């Protein structure tokens, strides 16, 4: 037992002596890691983050109002039936010239004609009765009251015949004006209701774009302003137009106003095409420009010798992607784009890419 105790006592001092280097090594490595991290942070802070910038340049600036609509003839008319009926005849004259009063379609008038024939037969009978009463009255063989009743019966029947003849005219659709049949809808056998547009008739030229603009933009629109037009029918092309009319009353539900945009005589647009319009309300061909995303509350971050500095500016025309600067910047200066408020607190930045501030 003494030998065991002695062996234990001699083994105990050896443990702490072996652990001492390990503790020191771990502490030393940890210190190196901390120093390396601090050096990396310091290097990153002094070197600065990479930012995208844009050069302040000059170019055209335009303020626009967006509107959409469709192309229509300036002079045209819609032709609709006034009564419900079945189409039994149509002209098939789409694209052809027609004259005012020319019949284009007819609804089923079988029943109406039968009624008219009955009324005309009664009219003949009442006329004969009136003539007979007139002859009897001349001979003193009848009373004035009977003669007046025959006259009233005849007049009433004549009015009914005239009304029925008018109903028959309602079953015919005639051209309301000289022009071209721009569109013809409906087929023989179709039942149509009053108000159903079966024909669109108008003059092939001139055309205009009937567009809707938001009510908050209308105060900036004026007759004569230029309009740039785009449509899916002519991809990549910008067509020209100009504001010709602004409706005096807007739509209180849709909160829009109707704007009619004139089109040149040789326009490529056709009736019925859907068109997007950018109405140019203000324009400057030699404006100082910065990207819209480089601005925040009328301030920009200007980069000089790698150092960012916040600067206030006075702006003018605001386009969709760029803004005109009236004061606060010079052509050729570099601004952070997009704006990043964190950059303002850094002593240095690295320029990643540079783009010209052109729309």
Q: What is the pLDDT of residues 112-138, one digit of tens each?
A: 999 999 999 999 999 999 999 999 999
pLDDT of residue 3: 42
Domain with CATH 1.10.287 in the chain: 109-170
Assigned fold of 50-64+285-356? 2.40.420
pLDDT of residue 1: 41
SS3 274: strand
Domain with CATH 2.40.50.100 in the chain: 81-107+171-202
Q: What pTM, to 2 d.p., does this model score? A: 0.65
Q: Considering the domain 65-75+203-281 in this protein, what is its CATH number?
A: 2.40.30.170
Question: Tokens 């569109």 correspond to what residue?
Answer: 183
pLDDT of residue 29: 65
Domain 109-170 coded CATH 1.25.40: no
Region 240-260 average pLDDT: 95
pLDDT of residue 354: 58
Average pLDDT of the chain, as a whole number? 86
Q: How far apart are CA 55 and CA 351, in angstroms?
A: 12
The proportion of the chain whose per-residue pLDDT surpasses 90, expressed as a percent, equals 66
Domain with CATH 2.40.420.20 in the chain: 50-64+285-356
Domain with CATH 2.40.30.170 in the chain: 65-75+203-281
18/233: higher pLDDT: 233
3-state secondary structure 291-333: EHHHCECCEEEEEECCEEEEEECEEEEECCCEEEEEECCCCCC
pLDDT of residue 51: 82
Region 3-19 average pLDDT: 45
Q: Is the pLDDT of residue 13 over 80?
A: no
CA distances from 98 to 8, 35, 104, 174, 288 (A): 125, 93, 9, 10, 56
Give the range among 44-58, 160-174, 313-327 with minimum mean pLDDT: 44-58
**59-110 pLDDT, tens digit each:** 988 889 999 999 999 999 999 999 999 999 999 999 999 999 999 999 999 9
pLDDT of residue 307: 85
Q: Considering the domain 81-107+171-202 in this protein, what is its CATH number?
A: 2.40.50.100
**Binning pLDDT at 50, 70 and 90, where does residue 37 land?**
low
pLDDT of residue 168: 93
Region 322-338 average pLDDT: 90
CA 77 from chain centre, in angstroms, equals 24
**Binning pLDDT at 50, 70 and 90, where does residue 320 land?**
confident
């Amino acid at each position: 037992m003494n030998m065991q105790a002695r062996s234990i006592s001699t083994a105990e001092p050896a443990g702490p002596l072996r652990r001492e280097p390990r503790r020191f090594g771990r502490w030393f490595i940890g210190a190196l890691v901390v120093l390396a991290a601090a050096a990396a942070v310091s290097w990153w802070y002094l070197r600065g983050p990479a930012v995208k910038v844009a050069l302040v340049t000059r170019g055209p600036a335009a303020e626009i109002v967006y509107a959409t609509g469709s192309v229509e003839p300036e002079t045209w008319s819609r032709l609709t039936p006034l009564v419900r009926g079945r189409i039994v005849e149509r002209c098939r004259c789409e694209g052809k010239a027609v004259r005012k009063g020319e019949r284009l379609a007819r609804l089923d008038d079988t029943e109406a004609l039968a009624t008219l024939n009955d009324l005309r037969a009664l009219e003949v009978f009442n006329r004969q009765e009136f003539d007979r009463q007139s002859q009897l009255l001349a001979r003193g063989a009848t009373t004035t009251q009977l003669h007046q009743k025959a006259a009233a019966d005849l007049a009433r029947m004549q009015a009914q015949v005239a009304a029925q003849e008018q109903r028959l005219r309602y079953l015919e659709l005639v051209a309301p004006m000289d022009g071209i049949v721009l569109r013809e809808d409906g087929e023989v056998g179709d039942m149509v209701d009053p108000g159903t547009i079966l024909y669109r008739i108008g003059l092939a030229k001139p055309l205009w774009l009937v567009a809707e603009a938001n009510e908050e933009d209308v105060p900036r629109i004026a007759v004569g302003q230029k309009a740039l037009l785009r449509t899916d029918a002519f991809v990549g092309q910008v067509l020209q137009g100009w504001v010709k009319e602004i409706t005096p009353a807007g739509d209180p539900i849709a909160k829009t106003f109707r704007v009619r945009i004139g089109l040149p005589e040789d326009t490529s647009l056709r009736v019925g095409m859907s068109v997007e319009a950018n109405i140019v309300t203000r324009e400057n061909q030699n404006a100082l420009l910065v990207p819209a995303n480089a601005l925040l509350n009328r301030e920009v971050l200007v980069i000089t010798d790698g150092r960012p500095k916040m600067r206030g500016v006075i702006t003018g025309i605001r386009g969709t992607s760029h803004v005109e600067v009236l004061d606060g910047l010079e052509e050729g200066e570099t601004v952070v784009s997009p704006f990043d408020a964190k950059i303002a607190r850094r002593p240095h930045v690295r320029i990643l890419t540079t783009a010209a501030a052109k729309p």
